[in-house]
Chains A and B, each alone.
Chain A
Amino acid sequence: MALKSWKELPIGCVVSEPGSASEYHTGSWRSQRPIWDNAKCIKCGICYVFCPEGCVQQTEDGFFQANMDYCKGCGICAHECWPRAIKMVEEG
């Protein structure tokens, strides 16, 4: 995104696009990625609740997956998933 000139800045530097931080993809920080094994998943939603990035979403079939644009690979979801349906693998 091109940087704005001083004349183009909003008055008082007010940011009027809510949630625009999502333009920035934190997925590049990741060294490990979570892999879901739906066969083990009981759809409890713990992975969704505990993800600090808010990047775990429920799909139509009720299972969960992470948006890799944002997943930082912290491993919380895998560590907290009680039926061990998520495992962390090295980014290759």
Chain B
Amino acid sequence: MNIVENFDLFAPRLINKQELFSSGHRACSGCAEVLAVRLMCKALGENTVIASATGCMEIVSSMFPTTAWRVPWIHVAFENAAAVASGVEAGLKALQKKGKIDGRYIKVVGMAGDGGTMDIGFQALSGAMERGHDMIYVCFDNEAYMNTGIQRSSGTPMGASTTTAPAGKVSIGQKTWKKNMPEIMVAHEIPYVATVCTSYPLDFIRKLEKARNIKGPSYIHCFSVCPTGWRSPSHTAISMGRLAVETGVFPLYEVENGHYRMSPDMPKKPRPIRDYFKSQGRFRHLTDADIDMIQNRVNKEFQKLVEKTKYLKTGNE
């Protein structure tokens, strides 16, 4: 399958030209997380206000007295992006109702890494989603606490070596399965949940645009390749994301009002996960048996998702 085929020719014409996230940011060379931020801004446009958690994207974008942001942006702390976003949404709503500011539609966005979402920011996120604020929450999942030096999170996949769950003589590294955050969000019964990856920019942008047009909370889980933390070459960030999707390790799907839909980019039959694991240093220590064990789980999870897309189909009411 060649890239152009599933990509659409002349992509720039379909994509907002405005760079709402400027060059000069300090992300590592080849960082797909920062690319995701750039594409998110393009998809959402200028009538957006972002509340960001502490983490790589915050540090690399806001070195005082400068900023990479061209949309209004606030950072308060690590575990509260969703709560800050709730307050921003409530504040704007009150001021608009009272006619104190113009009435344009502004989308409020909360953003954090996997740590800021799935671990320390979990409660604030659950609260914000449950309250039904009109906001998008985006989790930039690079599968560890990268900003502080590649420590494990509950988003780190089984078998990955990190600095707090390192591989050793008696350890394969991460000993737990990745927390299924999108499913937890689906259980909040919010209108829209979707997984995205920068390797599929049109799918990425379409889903963010959809989230933007939904009145109410939506959750976007963005697979974000981190060459530094994964010990993979910087030029492979996009191809690595594609492999995660093609192997079913990170399936692209969306859940609209409880109805599941697999993205058209998803292969019918996933590739073996070895293809994805082999050029990443964090998996290098795994034995064939370890990989088989993980492959079984990936197969099982993927199959579960396929079943959901069959039986909880969009437009099946």
Contact = CB atoms under 8 A, between A and B. Distances in A.
Direct contact between the two chains A and B in their complex (CB within 8 A):
yes
Interface of B: 2-4, 7, 9-13, 15, 19, 21-27, 29-32, 34-35, 38-39, 61-71, 198, 201, 233-239
B66 A79 contact: no
Binding site secondary structure of chain B: loop
B229 to A, nearest CB: 15
A69 B23 CA distance: 9
Nearest to B27: A52
A15 to B, nearest CB: 4
A20 B66 contact: yes
B64 A21 contact: no
B23 A18 contact: no
A52 B237 CA distance: 10
Contacts of A24: 24, 26, 63, 66
Contacts of B236: 79
Contact of B68 (A21, A43, A78): A21
B21 A54 contact: yes
A5 B229 CA distance: 37
A20 B67 contact: yes
A4 B64 CA distance: 11
A26 interface: yes
Nearest to B205: A49
A21 B234 contact: no
Contacts of A22: 22-24, 68
Interface string A68-92: 0110111110111010000010000
